[in-house]
Chains A and B, each alone.
Chain A
Amino acid sequence: MMASSYSAKEEDGHHSGSAGLGGAAVQTRKPDNTAFKQQRLPAWQPILTAGTVLPAFFIIGLIFIPIGIGLYVTSNNIKEFEIDYTGTEMSSPCFNCSQSFSWNSTTPCRCVLFFSLDQPFESNVFMYYGLSNFYQNHRRYVKSRDDSQLNGDLRSLKEPSKECEPYRTNENKPIAPCGAIANSMFNDTLDLFYIDPNGTKTQILLIKKGIAWWTDKHVKFRNPGGSNPNLTAAFIETAKPVNWHKPVYELDIDSENNGFINEDFIVWMRTAALPTFRKLYRVIQKKNNMTPTLPKGSYSLEVTYNYPVRSFEGRKRMILSTISWMGGKNPFLGIAYITVGSICFFLGVVLLFIHHKYGNRNNSSDVPS
């Protein structure tokens, strides 16, 4: 590199001198003599040889393996509990609810599942619902929404986008929120109870705020009419989505969490990448340092069963999980890091061998010539 840059300068000096002697007549067609035009720009000329790559491989190996182990351990420390409440089996408490499901039923079907946690869940616990075989990433589904309507645009509220078809209008009134995604919003209600050894049931406080992206809640989703607290007026002349029981302005009594900025709604509107997914439902906040958030013991999950999945062979799950600095439980990343680190290390050894056996031969045979 040093050498080439040096020679480039040499060349320059030499030629500019001769060009000066050449005179004006020649100058017209004569190309300027710059290092760029003569393709002699100073350059770094690295070459991938066993010798140069070797250290990189060892370094990657040495860095990746500890990271992998760290990730794996962290991931294993995360406590996770999962329970399926679809109710396809006869033995399941929700069997009846799943069988007798009808869109028109006015009385909600309820079922209770009992489970126990073997270990206490220490820090904040996150409660998810999981769906399987639900194609939220289907093209027809993904595009079936109107972002400007959700952003509070009044014109879109009255005249939703064509993409929302066939969930665009109902009885000649525009649907708000329109589209297949909104229409199929998950509407099971999950309640969690701790059952004391002595049999008393205490409901666990589930916090439903702070589960959506901050930017979504405050920028991307907005109720029509701005901060007007009277949502019913804002949504007048619109129809509720066909499959919803309540209109959008009755999703929550808290005005900060109602209408389009309802966090359950926002979470649902972020379509999942894969047909098996989970979405954040509630957060269980840690109370104090003395008692675990969820102590070891028996619990009951009370489900208001509104959401049919049997028709498309889907499953519904409830998941409780703690998190760490790297997110949820994720053994894959740790294992991958360990594997790649080991491979690199192994390759490093192989290359070291090759470098010693062949590298010297190449160099020694060629250098004298």
Chain B
Amino acid sequence: MDLSSIRKLITRYCTGEESWVDSRTVYIGHKEPPPGTEAYIPQRFPDNRIVSSKYTFWNFIPKNLFEQFRRIANFYFLIIFLVQLIIDTPTSPTTSGLPLFFVITVTAIKQGYEDWIRHKADNAINQCPVHVIQHGKVVRKQSQKLRVGDIVQVKENETFPCDLILLSTSREDGTCFVTTASLDGESSHKTYYAVQDTKAFNTAEEVDTLHATIECEQPQPDLYKFVGRINIYLDRDEPIARPLGSENLLLRGATLKNTEYIHAVAIYTGMETKMALNYQSKSQKRSAVEKSMNAYLIVYLCILISKALINTVLKYAWQANPNRDEPWYNQKTETERQRHVLIRAFTDFLAFMVLFNYIIPVSMYVTVEMQKFLGSYFILWDDDMFDEELGEGPLVNTSDLNEELGQVEYVFTDKTGTLTENNMELRECCVDGHVYVPHAVCNGQILPGAAGMDMIDSSPGVDGKEREELFFRALCLCHTVQVKEEETVDGIKRGIHQGKSTSFYISSSPDEVALVEGMNRLGFTYLRLKDSHMEILNREDEMERFELLEVLNFDSVRRRMSVIVRSSSGEYYLFCKGADSSIFPRVVSGKVEQVRARVEHNAVEGLRTLCVAYKKLTHEEYEETCRLLNSAKLALHERDKKLAEAYDVIEKDFILLGATAVEDRLQDKAADTIESLHKAGMKVWVLTGDKMETAAATCYASRLFHRNTQILELTTKRTEEQSLHDVLFDLSRTVLRQHGSMTRDTFSGLSGDCQDYGLIIDGATLSAVLKPTQEGTSNGGNYKEIFLEICRNCSAVLCCRMAPLQKAQIVKLIKASKEHPITLAIGDGANDVSMILEAHVGIGIMGKEGRQAARNSDYAITKFKHLKKMLLVHGHYYYIRIAELVQYFFYKNVCFIFPQFLYQFFCGFSQQPLYDTAYLTLYNISFTSLPILLYSLMEQHINIDILKRDPTLYRDIAKNSLLRWPTFIYWTFLGIFDAVVFFFGAFFLFDNTTFTSNGQLMATNTQMMFGNWTFGTLVFTILVFTVTLKLALDTHYWTWINHFVIWGSLLFYVIFSLLWGGIIWPFLNYQRMYYVFMQMLSSGPAWLSIILLIIVSLLPDVVKKVLCRALWPTTTERIQTKRQCLTAEQSTIFMLSQTSSSVSF
């Protein structure tokens, strides 16, 4: 017992290093293989416990605190708090400890609650029962106790507890259906296949006798990739090896459908499942506003330190005279006297830091967070962005980037599914130059349109007829479409016969569905795949059966797919369909020219074209093909590469059959949206994997290119003629000449209608441009620069033939260019995920191609047209709101702290605070926090409708314009000015005169003196009122909430002060504020000076605003003024027009 456990420990320790090997071996049912095959090294795998929670009960407090104090702001306040605890500082530790404690507690509670929810969810998942086969019996186990190698039985509608390799199913053909809705949102049923040699092990007892091992790669997050091999030990010594691919792998989180039960073996468990690996957090994106906020923070930190330093130095200069340092009336204690002067100076420095630390407001972070969190609800709530069809509105995955939506300069959009509907329909097919239009044939009536009629009339001859039918069969067979089965087989037959087949075909590619449906309308109906036989119904309603031998799946590099089938007459066919560029070079015969002409014609029309070709195989050829494929499939390493090589050998010497054209309609208002984005000053780039002609057609249709746009091409076609170098220089010359003349034009005031350029570039050329040349980096860098220079001067760029990674590369290239523009990527498919993650703002469209894009995005919307409101309205609002929020926060804290700094000059640099502790603590927490929060949620400087109507307003806030340094300096100086006014205003009242309260107002006829706390309270009162009224002046949108909060917070200040001074607070050890506020208010001059000083401090800002608006108005201000004018002078007319317009909408 002991020995074995020790050995276990040792092996564990040893395998610790070995766990990094590329593959893992799984023993099905924990049975060891026959001896001698391989050394039995038990690898250690984690159990099947899913841990999404961050904390446990025990480590919550330390870990959470650690996490929170890793934030630089929290850490700063912690340090301040500790300094206050350690040394004798002017303010009590509660003043900074209380807010910090509040913030930390609220955050901790929030995170704790979230974690508790996660714990509950984890527990529910971990404890749900699963059926495991042990010794031929079905045993119930908790999900978390599942181990790698266990054989699991899953019943219909159950969710897979971990990643499983399918061994056998209740269905004879060894298939099962699965939905991965919770993984990638695709609700379609996907077929998974059991290993051919194990599908017979149908019952629990049988499965238990299975003796096999699985070798597979270590877990990796790619959902669609899996490479493995199963070795089955039958009675003989030599095991049978079979390849395992993603079609055998059932992923955790997916649900079994339409299948009674399955048996499968666990290979990845717990945190190693693909689902768990995929839920790792994305990298944090930070907005431009956050960056400038941090820059400001550093400035303020410098100001803080220099203030403290200046005061410390001055203090010691001033104290050089011992009678000032320690006059007879104010002696130090003995311990103070004995302290070393350096220590004293240092503690003084720290004390000044503490005194001025409020200049960096803890509440700003809280308010910004709250603003972002609460503000993002306006996107969720937006009714205009709600899609009735899908029944879904927009999603906000992160609220950190709200304001970035108002800063976008480059929009990178996918074409298919984003600009277009991704609602495919077969428009025509062309067999040897004869064109068939499905509608015409299907409905038995001739469609208007010459092409359709023409081709149908010229019916092909007998030979043509045969070719035509082969073409149709090819399309019926060469696909991966599944037929969704209803309860009975009759149901599905009926469904298809009635022509309602639409809902029954399911495929990952909508093109294929469109093609199969189109074929249905042309008379050939694909029925189903049964026992690896594909059944089709031909025009004469006869069933034709083809045995499906191999499927050479589609991939984006090859851009084609093939199937190998055996007809009932025993002939082997290989059917291939793919992009023209990948088919034509492989074609040896057929009417290539006619088809090519037709394909090009269709491509210009904006249709998606596919070419179809076939070849006949002899039995020997087929055997050879099988051998090639199998050897490639069995490879564990570089399987993809080997497969690609095999495909390359197999797919050649085709005979061209024809081509198809599928239409993908533009999304509703896509063109309008693109036009608005253009007007808003954004550059729109279309990145697509489609071919150039199709993509260009879509660009024209979506008004990305106009009729007068001069198209610059940077494609392989051109670079074949000229060297890349020359082409690039040519283009840049054209563009720069234009640029020069344009600047001249702006001088003469004719900049309005200058020529704009559109650039088309394809993937191959792009990689050539980006590839660093061998001769030296300078040359390669040059290409990049020239390319960027050209792009900068083009209003629209189309990148076609893009691989997913290239999309991200382009985004990265633009991001890194010298202006560092803000980029936005929008797409709907898995191929857009990389660019969505790369761009500053990633937007996913909840489309037909699953939810991957939406899941990885920062925001998800339902339709491309919603981008307009998202950017022009929400983005604009969020930006101006947060910009004001940030500036205002710094402003109000300058106003707050600068008088304290000035006061030091009059109190012997003794760190005497000007304000009472309660005021110091509550200023940022309650007196001035709510109005700005509400402002930053509600402000609308311009109406929503105007923002939508006039996209040019977006240019007003481009390039972070409200947070530039001049603006920041203006706000800071305004703050300093106000602070000086507050302080010296009060100072002269106190200094020159007996500033006394007029006793006549009170019953006791007395004359009373005011002390330092009254002085501070006077300054503070002016401060609170000025700062709040300044915000009131900036508010352009006064709803009742704004009124309530602004006036309410002023009232709250007054009530609080009355209360704070009205009672002897028993828990306080000082009563310095007792009746101070009331006494101050009973004095006439105090009222007069409060009013005067508030007006004086607000005056410069008002004057600046009015002057700027009158002399140098921005577009925004013009529109505001215009509206003001209209409402003032013609309010009735305006009202009428407004009503009529909203009615017409």
- A→B interface (CB under 8 Å): 1-4, 6-7, 10-11, 14-15, 22, 25-26, 28-33, 37-50, 53, 60, 64, 67, 71, 126, 128, 134-148, 151, 161, 163, 165-167, 180, 183-184, 210-216, 219-220, 243, 267, 270-276, 278-280, 283, 308, 311-313, 319, 321, 323, 325-333, 336-337, 340, 343-344, 347, 351, 354-355, 358-359, 362-363, 366-367
Contacts and interface: CB of A to CB of B under 8 A. Distances in A.
Nearest to A218: B1004
Nearest to A161: B1069
Given A29-B392, A215-B1074, A220-B1071, A48 B1106 contact: yes
A323 B1079 CA distance: 17
Contact of A48 (B382, B1014, B1102): B1102
Interface string B1037-1075: 111111000000000000000000000100001111011
Contacts of A321: 994
B995 A328 contact: yes
Contacts of A363: 1121-1122, 1125
A3 to B, nearest CB: 5
16 contacts: A2-B1131, A6-B1138, A14-B1142, A29-B392, A30-B386, A60-B1095, A143-B1070, A215-B1074, A272-B1011, A278-B994, A325-B1000, A327-B1083, A330-B993, A330-B995, A347-B1099, A354-B1107
B1085 A330 contact: yes
B1011 A50 contact: no
A6 B1074 contact: no
B995 A327 contact: yes
A331 B1037 contact: no
Nearest to A369: B1122
A345 B618 CA distance: 103
B1110 A44 contact: no
B910 A3 contact: no
Interface string B986-1026: 01111111111110101011111111101110000000000
Contacts of B1127: 1-3
Contacts of B1143: 10
Interface stretch (B331-339, B484-492, B709-717, B760-768): B331-339
Interface string B834-851: 000000000000000000
A46 B1038 contact: yes
B1092 interface: yes
Interface of B: 90, 323-324, 327-334, 377-378, 380-383, 386, 388, 391-393, 877, 906-908, 910-913, 938, 940, 943-944, 985, 987-998, 1000, 1002, 1004-1012, 1014-1016, 1033, 1036-1042, 1064, 1069-1072, 1074-1075, 1079, 1083-1085, 1088-1089, 1092, 1095-1096, 1099, 1102-1103, 1105-1107, 1109-1111, 1113, 1118-1127, 1131, 1134-1135, 1138-1139, 1142-1143
A43 B1037 contact: yes
Contacts of A328: 993-996
Contact of B1088 (A44, A71, A319): A71
A33 B1069 CA distance: 53
B332 to A, nearest CB: 7
Q: Which 10 A-B pairs have the closest CB atoms?
A: A184-B329, A273-B1015, A328-B994, A37-B381, A139-B910, A270-B1011, A273-B1012, A330-B993, A139-B912, A44-B1038
Contacts of A332: 988-989, 992-993
Given A151-B1071, A312-B323, A366-B1122, 9 more contacts: A30-B386, A39-B378, A128-B994, A166-B331, A211-B1008, A270-B1011, A273-B1012, A312-B327, A327-B996
Nearest to A37: B381
A292 B393 CA distance: 84
Given A6-B1139, A140-B332, A38 B382 contact: yes
Contact of B1005 (A138, A167, A210, A358): A210
A284 to B, nearest CB: 12
Most chain A CB within a 10 A radius of its CB, from B381, B911, B991, B1014: B381
Nearest to B1016: A273
B860 to A, nearest CB: 13
Given A25-B391, A358-B1110, A15 B383 contact: yes
B323 A275 contact: no
A30 B1120 CA distance: 33
A134 B1105 CA distance: 44
B1038 A45 contact: yes
B1036 A46 contact: yes
Nearest to B1015: A273
Given A180-B331, A267-B1009, A312-B323, A275 B906 contact: yes
B1000 A343 contact: no
B1071 A273 contact: no
Contact of B1121 (A139, A215, A326, A362): A362
A312 to B, nearest CB: 4
Contacts of B1040: 41
Contacts of B378: 37, 39
Nearest to A166: B333
B823 to A, nearest CB: 27
Contacts of B1135: 2-3, 6
Contacts of A60: 1095
Contacts of B1039: 41-43
Contacts of B1121: 47, 49, 362-363, 366
A354 B994 contact: no
Contacts of B1092: 64, 333, 336-337, 340
Contacts of A3: 1127, 1131, 1134-1135, 1138
B1084 A135 contact: no
A40 B945 CA distance: 10
Contacts of B1083: 327
Contact of B1118 (A1, A140, A362): A362
Contacts of B1007: 126, 210-211, 280, 283, 323
A28 B391 contact: yes
Nearest to B380: A31
A333 B1070 CA distance: 33
Contacts of A279: 1009
B1084 A326 contact: yes
A311 B323 contact: yes
A355 B328 contact: no
B1106 A50 contact: yes
